[in-house]
Amino acid sequence: MPPMRRPGLQDLRSLGVAAVAGVLTGIVVAGLGGRLVMKVIALAAGPSAVGRVTGNGNTVGDLTLEGTLALVVFNGIFEGLVGGLLYLALRPWLTPLRGWGGLAFGVAVLALMGHVVLEPDNFDFRVFGSVGLSVGLFASLFLLYGVVIAPVFERVASAAGRSRAAAVLAWLGVVPAMPVIALGIGRTDAGLLGLDHGSRPVR
Collapsing DSSP states into helix, strand and coil, what is residue 197?
coil
User: What 8-state DSSP symbol labels residue 46?
Assistant: -
Q: Which of 172, 119, 138, 154 is nearest to 30 (CA)?
A: 138
End-to-end CA distance of the chain: 52
What's the pLDDT at 25?
Answer: 95
Alpha carbons within 13 A on the beta-carbon side of 116: 8
Q: Could you report the per-residue pLDDT of 44-103, keeping only the tens digit for each?
A: 766 655 555 555 555 555 566 776 777 778 778 888 999 999 999 999 999 899 889 999
What's the pLDDT at 140?
Answer: 92
For 117-161, the three-class secondary structure string (H helix, E strand, C coil) is: CCCCCCHHHHHCCCHHHHHHHHHHHHHHHHHHHHHHHHHHHHHHH
What's the pLDDT at 192?
Answer: 46
Collapsing DSSP states into helix, strand and coil, what is residue 201?
strand
Alpha-carbon separation of residue 39 from 28, 64, 68, 149 (angstroms): 15, 12, 11, 24
CB atoms within 10 A of CB 128: 23
**Average predicted confidence (pLDDT) for the chain:** 77
Q: Could you report the per-residue pLDDT of 110-139, keeping only the tens digit for each?
A: 988 777 666 655 555 555 566 677 778 888
pTM: 0.77
User: What 8-state DSSP symbol labels residue 100?
Assistant: G
Q: Compute the distance between CA of residue 127 and CA of residue 117 in angstroms, rounded to an integer.
A: 16
What's the pLDDT at 5?
Answer: 42
